[in-house]
Amino acid sequence: GQQVMQIPQYQHVQEGEDFTTYCNSSTTLSNIQWYKQRPGGHPVFLIQLVKSGEVKKQKRLTFQFGEAKKNSSLHITATQTTDVGTYFCAGRTGNQFYFGTGTSLTVIP
């Protein structure tokens, strides 16, 4: 069954508001990757986190990997209409790679 869950499943925000999606795994992950999939498009790699407690920033996006390496979050500051899409986390446990259930973000102009 699904081992990597994301919440919320859907999020509607007003343009300019912040947005956060949370990724939770039932097992310890060796790494966590984040992907963005625009409507009708394919997943596009955003970033990878490897170390416990790691924080990385990309302009308005902040990514965190939990201390126990079982959870992660993606925070977007001051959303823009270009942020619309589904955000997936993905991580490795053993020799398996699991994608999270995804959070679909809608930005209302």
Partner 1 sequence: DSGVTQTPKHLITATGQRVTLRCSPRSGDLSVYWYQQSLDQGLQFLIQYYNGEERAKGNILERFSAQQFPDLHSELNLSSLELGDSALYFCASSVGGGWSYEQYFGPGTRLTVT
Count residues near partner 1 (CB under 8 A).
23
Read off the tokens for 61.
């996006």
Tell me, residue by residue from 37 to 56, as one string, x for binding to partner 1 by CB under 8 A and - for no binding.
Answer: ----xxxxx--x-x------
Closest distance of CB 52 from partner 1, Å: 15
Residue 78 within binding range of partner 1, rule CB under 8 A: no
Coil, helix or strand at residue 81: helix
Residue 11 within binding range of partner 1, rule CB under 8 A: no
CA distances from 26 to 16, 58, 73, 79, 98 (A): 33, 27, 15, 30, 11
CA distances from 50 to 20, 26, 79 (A): 20, 17, 26
Residues lying near partner 1 in the complex (CB under 8 A) are found at 2, 30-31, 33, 35, 41-45, 48, 50, 88, 90, 92, 95-102
